[in-house]
Amino acid sequence: MKNKLLLFVLPLSILATQSFAQGSLLDELGKDEETIEYAKYSFKTNRIINMHSLENTAEGVLDMKISHRFGTIDEGFYDLFGLDAATQRIGLDYGITDNLTVGVNRNSVRKAFDGFVKYRVLRQSTGKVNMPITLSVLSSMAIETQKWSDPTRENYFSSRLFYTHQLLIGRKFNDAFTLELAPTVVHRNLVATKAEKNTVLAMGIGGRVRLNRRTTFNAEYIYVLPNQLADNYKNSLSIGFDIETGGHVFQLHFTNSTSMSEYSYITQTDANWGKNAIRFGFNVSRVFTMYDAKKRKK
């Protein structure tokens, strides 16, 4: 009888221990601690085309950008679809922290220098912190340094200054699609005529569709609210592709804007898409890692 008990208990105990071994060992550790998962890589660079994107330059990274906008394609073969004429911009962006980027640029249009500060206030995330959008604030100031059009007139230095303030609000909906809105104020100390407003309100909209691992289709449009600019100025519209090759991102696009400075492509775009007055352009971005941010924090 008691032997039978032993026979009964022994397999039971083996069964009991084996039941522990069932299933995944990892499951026994319990659930992973919930962490904040940021929505990263909403755009391939910190610009959509002309507009700032939701991305910042990572801490300790220097991003050198060289950009060209060519002449309008409507002259045809005579000036090789605009390639004979080019405006240039060279710029350096630097990530002070992952959320704070500063940059300086020189733009050949009106010989403008500009500098910007971009701060990410909210960052889209899931997990421990659920934040549906990214929100950044961009402030940029530009100085036009070309000679006064009328040197005999009394000219003030302040007349050379332009300010742009933008909120960049957007969401990476999924790996393929990101959308961004940018309510914008541009202030110009000097305007050509009384009919033009010194302070101009605009709304930018931009987005990207990821076509494959290394290519995205980008588009942006800046709607300037009516009755603020002279009639010859148009809204800036640009479409193009980001192509990434190892260390570089090439942004190839068509746009009706000549300048790549915020104040200028928003308020000084004078070419008309409807009349084929569009230009080919590109931005090339090359990043240099100045220091390993995460290592330094340790």
Which residues bind to other proteins, rule: CB under 8 A?
A: 2-3, 5-6, 9-10, 12-14, 16-17, 20-21, 24-26, 28-29, 32-33, 37, 40-41, 58-61, 175, 213-214, 244-247, 287, 289, 292-295
Alpha-carbon 295 to chain mean position: 26
Q: Are 271 and 277 in contact (CB under 8 A)?
A: yes
The burial class, CB within 10 Å (0-12 / 13-18 / 19+), for 191 is middle
- C-beta closer to other proteins: residue 58 or 169: 58
- C-beta closer to other proteins: residue 12 or 209: 12
Taking the complex as a whole, how short is the minimal distance between the CB of residue 65 and other proteins, in angstroms?
Answer: 14
- C-beta closer to other proteins: residue 48 or 202: 48
Taking the complex as a whole, how short is the minimal distance between the CB of residue 201 and other proteins, in angstroms?
Answer: 35
- C-beta closer to other proteins: residue 193 or 245: 245
Taking the complex as a whole, how short is the minimal distance between the CB of residue 178 and other proteins, in angstroms?
Answer: 13
DSSP 8-state class, residue 60: T
Q: Are 200 and 228 in contact (CB under 8 A)?
A: yes
- C-beta closer to other proteins: residue 141 or 293: 293
Q: Are 250 and 214 in contact (CB under 8 A)?
A: no
Taking the complex as a whole, how short is the minimal distance between the CB of residue 96 and other proteins, in angstroms?
Answer: 14
Q: State the DSSP string of 19-58.
A: HHHSS-TGGGG-SPPP-EEE---SSSSSBSSSSB-S--PP
CA–CA separation, 105 vs 66, rounded Å?
10
Among 210, 158, 293, residue whose Cα is nearest residue 41: 210
- C-beta closer to other proteins: residue 193 or 212: 212
Taking the complex as a whole, how short is the minimal distance between the CB of residue 238 and other proteins, in angstroms?
Answer: 23
CA–CA separation, 278 vs 1, rounded Å?
98
Sequence letter at residue 263: Y
Taking the complex as a whole, how short is the minimal distance between the CB of residue 8 and other proteins, in angstroms?
Answer: 8
